[in-house]
Amino acid sequence: MSFKIRLTLMFSAVFILFQTLTVIVNDYAMRVNLNREAEKLLRSIAARAADAAARHLQPERGPDEAFTVPDPDELIRSVQSLHLNILEIAVFRLSEADLSGPAAGLGAGLLYGRYDRSVEPTDREDLENAMRSGEVFRSVGHDGKSILIGSFGFPGSGPLAVRIAADMSDMYGMIRDARNDQIALSAVLLLAAIVVSYGIARMTIRPLRHILGKVDEVASGRFDTPLAVNRRDETGQLAERINAMAKNLDVYMTKLKKAFEENRSMKEHLESIINHTTDAIHIEDVNGVLLRVNPAFEQLFGWSAEEAVGRRLPIVPESRLNEEREAREALLAGQMLPARETVRRRKDGTCIEVSVTTSAIRDRNGVIQAFASITRDMTNRKRMDELLRRSEKLNTVGQLAAGVAHEIRNPLTTLRGFLQLQQQTNKLNQRHIDIMLSELDRINLIVSEFLILAKPQATKFRVQDVRFILGDVISLLDSQAHLCNIVFNTAFDSEPCRVSCEENHLKQVFINVLKNAIEAMPKGGDIDIEVRKRPDWIVITIRDHGVGISEDMIPKLGDPFVTSKETGTGLGIMISQRIIQSHQGTMEISSKVGKGTTVTINLPAARPEEQAAESASETALAAGQREDGQATETAGSQ
Ligand code: ADP
Ligand code: MG
């Protein structure tokens, strides 16, 4: 049932209830009023009748003196106004005895009037009661008529009793007519009320209908047309709120659509990356059961996605199980793992060298749900690396060979020239011999520098304190420095500065750098030497105040045979850099022409466990190593 009809029905029901109540109350009030009026009238008639009767009974009056009725005009007027039809008036004369004895019939006492409609025994009872209390009224039905009987007692005069019967049917008929009129009027009013309330309901509902239509639109996802708000009442406010709501929904909907679109394209992106990357990607749960693999995984390992998903595959060879377990534990402990170079097994049982990066996938609460691994086939990379290394080696060898050939041919040409001269002259010239010897020394120097590079690297790394190694080198070079007016200023850290190193090679580095510094200061001066311990590094700084290195030469430092000195080999820095590299360290040279040069060497500090392992043997070996070191230094300083 629509709201409109419901509202109308509600209106009508209220109206009917109200009208019914009105009719009932009216009817009742009218009856009561008319009854009261009728009673009043009867009372006054009775009083006059009794009065007349009493006078009639007086001895001085003749019996012919008629009983005077009340003023007929007045009576008629009042009776007309009440629609009252007086049927009988009877005046009784009652003695005490008449009243008490049942044998005394009412008829016997009738003094005057008519008494046709007797109602026994109530009549006598009413009269007796009226004698006591003044008056008694009784309504009775008689021949289909409503009759009001009034009994009045006048104990003072006679005693007399008056009984009046009046037909009330007309009066009640009038009341009924009035009621019927009212009901008819009510029906008309009801009809009008229905029409009006229907109209009101329609008017009230119309804006609601618009709002409903709008809500329907919003429900089906259309937000563009706002409701026209042209009233300030509740419906107007409702329309306003709904407009605001639709606008908000529109904004949120647009945002949502955008986010959804972004999400979708992001997902597609990721999917396409996962599916098209050449790296094998697989996701497994915490129990190692595969959840997803990409095409590259299928290609690398040989298992198809259908075979792999939902199973645990033996891709980790037995020899690597421990390593894998440790990695998992580290991940579960919340660590991030760097890429691991390891070995994996394919479906056909062959092993491949791979680089694996594994990361944990966590849920919203940070609990690890799965592991994602990216596996890269390193077989080709390894091969490439090896090729590169070899070609680099060949390149270096070629470069060196050319340089060596050039460097050695010059002194050899000199030697050959002098020897030829001697062959021709057959004389041994002392000056020529000196030159020949110095040329041979030069050849020896170049060759001995090369030996460090060429020597098969049967190196033995030990944990040593850099301060001691550098101290040895300084005391070795001290006399030479003294000759050149050079002073070494040392500032060594008070803490041990231990590194894992090959002592003789490190000495070679310090000798090369310090010799360069000495050679850069022909007029003498200070060389500052510093050793500092940093948390993971030992930093060695050697600073001179010499001639410096020109800017265009700095990038070339480290290439073989790059020298600015007449007798230089241009090998010292190259060799030093190689040695520092083999110690996992770095060597930096900064310089300003005319101001000086600073060489900074960083070496990784020895880890505690390395130190512990070495410390026992260290003391015992120290003496022997020192001797070796001195031997090398003498060779290097020649
Ligand atoms: P060499 O000392 O035999 O020339 P190096 O490799 O030791 O070979 O040095 C290469 C060049 O770098 C030197 O010739 C010199 O020009 C420059 N050089 C190196 N160290 C210094 C320094 N401390 N001060 C000025 N120049 C330097
Ligand atoms: Mg040098």
The CB-based long-range contact list for 12-20 (8 Å cut-off, 24+ gap) reads 12/190, 12/193, 12/194, 12/197, 15/189, 15/190, 15/193, 16/186, 16/190, 19/186, 19/189, 19/190
Average pLDDT over residues 169-181: 86
Q: Which ligand is nearest to the CA of 570?
A: 1
Query: With a 6 A CB cut-off, is 601 part of the ligand 1 pocket?
Result: no
Residue 622 has pLDDT above 70, yes or no: no
Q: Three-state DSSP class for 227? A: coil
Phi, then psi, of 555 in degrees rounded to 5: -60, -25
| Ligand 1 atom index nearest CA of 563 | 14
Confidence band (pLDDT; 50, 70, 90) for 550? very high
Average pLDDT over residues 481-503: 92
Q: Three-state DSSP class for 588? A: strand
Q: What angle do CA 266, 267, 270 make, to 5 degrees?
A: 85
Options 2.40.110.10, 3.40.50.2300, 3.40.50.1110, 3.30.565.10; CATH for 446-606 is 3.30.565.10
Domain layout of the chain by residue ranges: 39-177, 221-276, 277-377, 446-606, 612-638
Residue 618 has pLDDT above 80, yes or no: no
Q: Three-state DSSP class for 613? A: helix
Confidence band (pLDDT; 50, 70, 90) for 201? confident
Pairing of strands 525-533, 486-492: parallel
CA-atom Rg of the chain in angstroms = 68
Average pLDDT over residues 209-219: 84
| Contact predicate 411/446, CB 8 Å | no
Confidence band (pLDDT; 50, 70, 90) for 403? low
Confidence band (pLDDT; 50, 70, 90) for 600? very high
- Residues around ion ligand 2, judged by CB within 5 A, are 516, 572
The sheet carrying 145-154 orders its strands as: 110-113, 85-93, 160-167, 145-154, 135-142
Residue 498 has pLDDT above 70, yes or no: yes
Pairing of strands 145-154, 135-142: antiparallel
Confidence band (pLDDT; 50, 70, 90) for 441? confident
Residue nearest to atom 3 of ligand 1 (CA): 568
Which sign does the torsion angle of CA 567, 573, 579, 580 carry? positive
Which one-letter amino acid corresponds to residue 232?
R
pLDDT tens per residue, range 312-351: 999 999 989 999 999 999 999 988 888 888 999 999 999 9
Residue 629 has pLDDT above 50, yes or no: no
Q: Which residues contact 42 (CB under 8 A, 6 or more apart)?
A: 137, 148, 150, 152, 164, 166
Residue 75 has pLDDT above 80, yes or no: no
Least confident range from 10-19, 311-320, 325-334, 604-613: namely: 604-613
Residue 616 has pLDDT above 70, yes or no: no
Confidence band (pLDDT; 50, 70, 90) for 407? confident
Ligand 1, pocket-test mutation among 508, 526, 563, most atoms within 8 A of CB: 563
Options 1.10.10, 1.10.1740, 3.30.70, 3.30.450; CATH for 39-177 is 3.30.450
Q: What angle do CA 627, 465, 506 make, to 5 degrees?
A: 60
Extended strands (E) in 502-567: 525-533, 537-544
Query: With a 6 A CB cut-off, is 573 part of the ligand 1 pocket?
Result: yes
Residue 435 has pLDDT above 80, yes or no: yes
Average pLDDT over residues 556-584: 87
Q: Three-state DSSP class for 532? A: strand
Q: Which region, left, alpha or beta, applies to residue 374 given φ > 0 means left and ψ of -120 to 50 means alpha?
A: beta
Residue 617 has pLDDT above 60, yes or no: no
Query: With a 6 A CB cut-off, is 597 part of the ligand 1 pocket?
Result: yes
Q: Which ligand is nearest to the CA of 559?
A: 1
Is domain 277-377 given the CATH code 3.40.109.10 in the classification?
Answer: no
CB atoms within 10 A of CB 106: 19
Query: With a 6 A CB cut-off, is 570 part of the ligand 1 pocket?
Result: yes
Residue 526 has pLDDT above 80, yes or no: yes
Residue nearest to atom 20 of ligand 1 (CA): 516
| Contact predicate 355/377, CB 8 Å | no
Residue 226 has pLDDT above 50, yes or no: yes
Residue 531 has pLDDT above 90, yes or no: yes
What does pLDDT average to over the chain? 82
CB atoms within 10 A of CB 135: 16
Extended strands (E) in 378-472: 462-465
Least confident range from 145-149, 320-324, 506-510, 553-557: namely: 145-149
Paired tokens of 151 = 């009994």
- Residue 289 CA, ligand 1 centroid: distance in Å: 62
Confidence band (pLDDT; 50, 70, 90) for 1? low
Percent of the chain with pLDDT over 90: 30
Confidence band (pLDDT; 50, 70, 90) for 299? very high
Give the Cα separation of 236 and 576 in Å (integer): 90
Q: What angle do CA 207, 208, 214 make, to 5 degrees?
A: 95
Confidence band (pLDDT; 50, 70, 90) for 392? low
Q: Which region, left, alpha or beta, applies to residue 280 given φ > 0 means left and ψ of -120 to 50 means alpha?
A: beta
pLDDT tens per residue, range 38-73: 888 888 888 888 887 777 776 655 444 445 555 656
| Ligand 1 atom index nearest CA of 596 | 24
- Residue 570 CA, ligand 2 centroid: distance in Å: 6
Residue 97 has pLDDT above 70, yes or no: no
- Residue 399 CA, ligand 1 centroid: distance in Å: 19
| Contact predicate 218/248, CB 8 Å | no
- Residue whose token pair is 């396409």: 272
183, 186, 190, 196 alpha-carbon torsion, rounded to 10°: 170
Ligand 1, pocket-test mutation among 516, 553, 637, most atoms within 8 A of CB: 516
- Residue 358 CA, ligand 1 centroid: distance in Å: 48
| Ligand 1 atom index nearest CA of 517 | 23
Confidence band (pLDDT; 50, 70, 90) for 500? very high
Phi, then psi, of 298 in degrees rounded to 5: -60, -40
User: What's the confidence (pLDDT) of residue 428?
Assistant: 79
DSSP state of 97: H
DSSP state of 120: T
Paired tokens of 23 = 């009719």
Q: What angle do CA 192, 194, 199 make, to 5 degrees?
A: 95
| Cis amide linkage into residue 159, ω under 30° from 0 | yes
| Contact predicate 223/253, CB 8 Å | yes
| Contact predicate 575/448, CB 8 Å | no
| Ligand 1 atom index nearest CA of 558 | 6
Pairing of strands 351-362, 462-465: unpaired
Top pLDDT among 131 and 279 is at: 279
Give the Cα separation of 168 and 477 in Å (integer): 157
User: What's the confidence (pLDDT) of residue 69?
Assistant: 52
Q: Do domains 39-177 and 446-606 have the same CATH topology?
A: no
Q: Three-state DSSP class for 299? A: helix
- Residue 435 CA, ligand 2 centroid: distance in Å: 22
